[in-house]
Structure 1
Amino acid sequence: MNVDIHEILADVQANWILYLSMPFVAATIGYFTKIVAIRMMFKPLEFVGKPPLFGWQGIVPRRAATMASIACDLMMERLLKPEDVFNKLDPHRVAEEIRDPLIRSVEDITREVAAEYQPGLWESSPESVKRLVIQRIQKEAPHMVELIMEDIKNNIDRVFDLKDMVVNALVRDKELLNRVFLEAGHVEFKFIARSGIYFGFIIGCLQAVAWALTHNIWVMPLFGLFTGWFTDWLALKMIFNPKQPVRYLGLFEWQGLFLRRRKQVSARYGELVASEIVTPAAVIEAILKGPLSDRLFGLVQKQVQRTMDEQAGLAKPLVVFAVGSTKYQEMKRSVSEKVMQYLPETLSHMEAYAEEAMDLKTLLVGKMQELSEEEFEGLLRPAFQQDEWILITVGALLGFLVGELQVHVMLHFAVHV
């Protein structure tokens, strides 16, 4: 191909606005495709359009169960185990924290059960006798709570499913799942958007040279496609690679941006998990209402029955005779059920102490500092790995369409110059 440098210079001089605009248009393409790609990762929370093909749901919300499971697997494998949640709780301190509401609930439970199983005897008893019975059970109640707490700590894997709690919380609240990734990687997402400008501008300079040499109508859309694809691909690579700092050309050093920020990420991630996911309230609810709650009921029932039998003491045969053996067993089970009903409200009074004692944020941050580069990358990488090719493809197609529009604008401009 013969290149007439004078013709090229004359064309550039005549259409300098067009040539000058190419890097800026390419930078705009790079930035715009990144913004669209990031938004498509997280929005909308629910499918919009006509399923299954015509429409879109954010990649993270669409794969909420998978995303949450991956995040939880890493969390449980290296960061947090069920025993970590309870080992720092002192059963005696727990009993002290809930003593007042516990005493109130014990009185209510005693009156309800007594009125149900021995209505005549209970109603006819003097108030002083009723109060003596209630006070005797109330006195023993804190010790029973300590024993239940010890049972929970010794059987934590049988009564508390940490993974189920975390996954359900994130699947149920897709906005929270988005925040886990967005807040952990907010600097990286800004970098992706800004990188589109820088890389796009450089590619736009090359595009201007290619257009000057060829005036081929395919230059614009193909360079637009390349800008959308390459800038997406390169930005993702620069976030996670290289794992260790590497000096390039002896001029500058680079380490994957996410890995370089592990201290800041650890602090925010630990705070988010401790304050919004693995909270004392959520843990209590998971134990009382989760998939393993039946086993907790078994522990509570064992301690309630032990306490009732001890309190009955020498009078137990008379109590059994008065209500009947079958009814006595039913009564003990009824007490256990009512204790379980009252537990959520009663245990809510220990949340402040539990948060202070567990100190999950400090625990998580410390353990995150011990993660290898590959494990640390796993905190954010799942958000990109799932359907990553779709994001890059969309970026490329958007770049192609903008490039095609750019051709028509240039040809229109050339005709009227």
Structure 2
Amino acid sequence: MSTPAEILEDVGRNWFIYASMPIIAAAIGYVTKLVAIEMMFRPLEFVGRKPFLGWQGVIPRRAAKMAGIACDTMTSQLITPAEIFGRLDPRRVAEEIEKPLLASIEDITREVAAATQPDLWEALPSRVKNLIVERIQRQSPKMVEKVMLQMQQDIDSVFDLKEMVVTHLVRDKALLNRIFREAGHKEFKFIANCGAPFGFAIGLLQTLAWAVFREPLLLPAFGLITGWATDWLALKMVFFPVEPKRYFGLFTWQGLFLRRRAEVARDYGDLIAREIITPRNVVEAVLRGPLSDRLFALVQREVYRLVDEQAGFARPLVVVAVGGRQYQRIKQLVTVKVMERLPETMSAVEDYATDAMDIRNTLMTKMQQLTPTQFERLLRPAFEQDEWMLIAVGALLGFCVGELQILIVEFLAR
């Protein structure tokens, strides 16, 4: 341990070395934060040699789990399938898609007739063909309205909101990153910026310890402490305390993320409504998702009923004329054709559905009604997964920079 006189003499002779220590510590704090943040999101795919030699961003690597956590919060506390579909007026939906629906019905009728009874269809007069098409067209909007009503009564049997959201986010990891990055963009900026002042403060202690002890191991040790402590403290300040708390009777602090509830709710609701729970994605999930077979059965039942109604009193004669098996094939083919045309047909309802479902404002309102603890779960999972690893990386980087400091100090001291 050096005497006060020796300390003063050494500081005077190597003042630039002492002055650099807190500055380098501040740089360590700042850089390790930037690295930790980027390691959460990048790269999207694993780079290196699996399983251990390499890295993939924490969020992309745990995409399924992250998406599931985000979706659990969304579906359990913010919005439900019944709420989404309950706002759609079946009659209005039928009106919105009437024009493309009628065009589709005309094409479907002619295609099915040509495929199953080409000779009979071609032999019919044009007036009769048109009459058949018009009769089916008249009933089609009612069929759409009835199918919509049945879906609303038991929407969970044909639409899985969680599966849709999770599938969409796992497939698009960049979008999953955006959800967490945009929801917490100010928090990430805060974490990066606070690294410098925290590091500078620790650097002052490092400078004092070096002046007194002149022990080379102090520099990497303080570098490690700076990287670890600043990462840990910054993360804690983002989420804790959940409720506002006064410290030392001087100032009140609440987790930064929790203080921005209104702003986060607006950004989060806008992103989810614009990118994930859109009418197009919902229709795609209903028509192509794991429960689509149930929708097919629902549509098939209504198509069969419609075809039978149009056959009317002549149904027995039609069955005799074309054969029972062929009559069933006609109905099956109509159902298949209807399902094939539905995505294109339903695109006409997107503008109305966007306004009616009002996902953005619903999410904004519901998010502001969450308790602080519930609200914290929107972003906290992104940090909880492998948080220790991010802090450890910060500590390791700090240690390496501390070792570099030793080399610099020894070089300058020559």
TM-score of the alignment, normalized to the shorter chain, above 0.5: yes
- Map 1:89-168; keep pairs closer than 5 Å: 89-168=88-167
Partners of 2:263 and 2:33 lie apart in 1 by 24
**DSSP 3-state at the match of 2:242:** coil
2:115 maps to amino acid: E
Residue deviations 1:232-255 (CA, integer Å, cap 9, x gap): 000010011011111222222110
**DSSP 3-state at the match of 1:320:** helix
Q: CA deviation at 1:183?
A: 0.2
Q: CA deviation at 1:11?
A: 1.0
1:366 maps to amino acid: T
- Map 1:196-275; keep pairs closer than 5 Å: 196-275=195-274
Partners of 2:314 and 2:378 lie apart in 1 by 60
Partners of 2:262 and 2:200 lie apart in 1 by 32
2:113 maps to amino acid: A
**DSSP 3-state at the match of 1:247:** strand
Residue deviations 1:270-303 (CA, integer Å, cap 9, x gap): 1111110111000000000000000000000011
Partners of 1:182 and 1:84 lie apart in 2 by 28
**DSSP 3-state at the match of 1:44:** coil
- Identify the range of structure 1 (250-259 vs 182-191) with the bigger mean alpha-carbon deviation: 250-259
Aligned to 1:75: 74
Partners of 1:118 and 1:396 lie apart in 2 by 77
1:207 maps to amino acid: Q
Partners of 1:109 and 1:76 lie apart in 2 by 38
**DSSP 3-state at the match of 2:246:** strand
Aligned to 2:12: 13
Aligned to 2:380: 381
- Identify the range of structure 1 (227-236 vs 373-382) with the bigger mean alpha-carbon deviation: 373-382
Partners of 1:310 and 1:81 lie apart in 2 by 36
Aligned to 1:38: 37
2:147 maps to amino acid: I
Aligned to 1:362: 361
Partners of 2:238 and 2:300 lie apart in 1 by 53
Partners of 2:210 and 2:278 lie apart in 1 by 59
Partners of 2:322 and 2:69 lie apart in 1 by 54
Partners of 1:250 and 1:23 lie apart in 2 by 29
Partners of 1:365 and 1:390 lie apart in 2 by 33
Q: CA deviation at 1:319?
A: 1.1
Partners of 2:62 and 2:325 lie apart in 1 by 51
How well do the aligned residues superpose, as a CA RMSD in angstroms? 0.8
Aligned to 2:46: 47
- Identify the range of structure 1 (172-181 vs 69-78) with the bigger mean alpha-carbon deviation: 69-78
Partners of 2:162 and 2:316 lie apart in 1 by 46
2:236 maps to amino acid: K
Partners of 1:318 and 1:374 lie apart in 2 by 68
1:392 maps to amino acid: I
Partners of 2:216 and 2:77 lie apart in 1 by 55
Q: CA deviation at 1:80?
A: 1.3
Q: CA deviation at 1:20?
A: 0.9
**DSSP 3-state at the match of 2:48:** strand
Aligned to 1:309: 308
Partners of 1:298 and 1:339 lie apart in 2 by 12
- Map 1:173-192; keep pairs closer than 5 Å: 173-192=172-191
Aligned to 2:346: 347
Question: TM-score normalized by structure 2?
Answer: 0.99
1:183 maps to amino acid: E
Aligned to 2:321: 322
Question: TM-score normalized by structure 1?
Answer: 0.98
1:75 maps to amino acid: M
**DSSP 3-state at the match of 1:401:** helix
Residue deviations 1:390-413 (CA, integer Å, cap 9, x gap): 100000000000001101110111
**DSSP 3-state at the match of 2:54:** strand
Q: CA deviation at 1:326?
A: 1.7
Partners of 1:244 and 1:72 lie apart in 2 by 25
**DSSP 3-state at the match of 2:228:** helix
Residue deviations 1:31-61 (CA, integer Å, cap 9, x gap): 0001011111100000111111111111100
Structure 1 segments unaligned to the other structure (5+ residues): none
Residue deviations 1:55-100 (CA, integer Å, cap 9, x gap): 1111100010111011111111101111111000001110111111
Aligned to 1:394: 393
Partners of 1:173 and 1:108 lie apart in 2 by 36
Residue deviations 1:10-32 (CA, integer Å, cap 9, x gap): 11111111111111100000000
Aligned to 1:56: 55
Partners of 1:115 and 1:40 lie apart in 2 by 60
**DSSP 3-state at the match of 2:226:** helix
2:281 maps to amino acid: A
Aligned to 1:88: 87
Partners of 1:318 and 1:385 lie apart in 2 by 70
Aligned to 1:171: 170
- Identify the range of structure 1 (257-266 vs 369-378) with the bigger mean alpha-carbon deviation: 369-378
Aligned to 1:296: 295
Q: Which runs of 4+ in 1 moved over 2 A?
A: none
2:71 maps to amino acid: C
- Identity percentage of aligned residues: 61
Aligned pair count reads 414
1:284 maps to amino acid: V
Partners of 1:50 and 1:302 lie apart in 2 by 53
**DSSP 3-state at the match of 1:328:** helix
